[in-house]
Structure formats: structure tokens, C-alpha cells
Structure 1
């Protein structure tokens, strides 16, 4: 998917990716939307938090309760799941946060994040085709 971030293994994220996701949630929570969208360092590379959220869309791990509040505050309706413990997967949280990022960027008029992500995706697709 993206060589800058660790890959998921059968829907499960390594601990480093969980830590990046948690830190990305914190950065989003601190971001007022007026400045550029936050980015996070991972192994010497600066990665937009939107990329972290997008990368975790396939993660089937259960979101820790300590992070759930940062995600559910983005919802316009109360969170409820079909499970008996009302758990949320990281995938669901990542999708919510990806949407929240897009909404906040649109409200602030900042679209450079989307341009950056498209540029990174093009670079990645060129690498894949050259390596094949």
C-alpha cells in the first residue's frame, strides 16, 4: 500500500502503526484547522496524519477505549455498534477520522493536503510499476 508505513498483516497492525495512529489522533485533536494539516515523523520521514488514517482503513483491531473518545467526538450522532461491548474497530475510527480531516480541510479552504497525497500516491504507483 505505502512503503512509508508498516503494512497490515491479515488486518492487524503492528504496534508501531498503532502508536502512529494514536499520535495522529492527538495531533488532529490539537489542530485548529487554520494552519496546515498536521504531519508526524516515522523513521525519518514526515507523513501527513491523513495518510496514517487512510493506511489504517483496513485494520480490524479493536480501538482502545482511551482513543475512542477522540474519535466519537467527531460524530454527529452517538456511537453505537451491534456488538455487546460497543467496540469500535480501528478501521471504523480511521474512516471517521479521514472524513473529519477532509471536512476540516474543506472548511478551512486548505486543499494542499489532498494534492500532497495524490503526489505521494503517484510516486508509489511509479515505484510499484518499476519494481514489477
Structure 2
């Protein structure tokens, strides 16, 4: 016995079937984003000190690496990831986790990637890390 409100036969059945399937997949993806965000948010709230400690340790290692080897790439990478993930966090807080279920999220993430990369490059140049520590140490 079929309890669906849409007829199983008809000339537009394939179109309706595909549309219902896509709507169901989109709703499932939105719900998965919500559940994942709740799990991550609860984990961060319960273990905020661990997240902060890991962040500080990574930043300290990056600064130590710059000062000891003269290579600034690790520092730029740590800064980039902090800026990128921080902006993603702000986007999630502003628009909700469902933002990752939209079709245009890939374009937004690509633009955000390029923007963060450029901003970190400007910061590294402005602080002088690239100029002061950009040359390699003699072997």
C-alpha cells in the first residue's frame, strides 16, 4: 500500500521522483551539517583549554622554527589555518551550519582560501618575516 501523496504513474513521475530524491538528499545533508556542528561545538566548549593549548603550542613551534632555521613557511601556514578556520567559524555562527549544504559553498570556500592566503602573505611581508628570515641558512 502506497501512502505517498504523489501519484506513482503519470507523465511527470520521473521528474517528480528525481526532485523528491534531490530534496531528500539536500535535507539529509543539512541535517548532517547540523549534527556535526553540534558535536564539534559541544566538544570545543567542553575542551576549550585543549584547543587553546594546541593553538598556542603550534604558534610557538612556528615562531621557534622561524627563529632557528630562518624558514617562515611553517609560521605562514599556521597563521593561514588560524585565519581560514576562524573565518569559517564566524560564517557558521552567522549563517548556521546549513551554509555547507548550499550549492555555492565551493565557490565561497575558494574565494575565502585565496583571500586568507593573500592576507597572510601581506601580514608576513609587513612584519618582515619574509625579508628578514626568508633567506636560507648556509649549509
Normalised by the length of structure 1, the TM-score is 0.27
| More strand per residue | 1
Normalised by the length of structure 2, the TM-score is 0.26
Greater RCO between the two (CA within 8 Å, min separation 6)?
Answer: 2
- The structure that has the greater radius of gyration is 2
| More helix per residue | 2
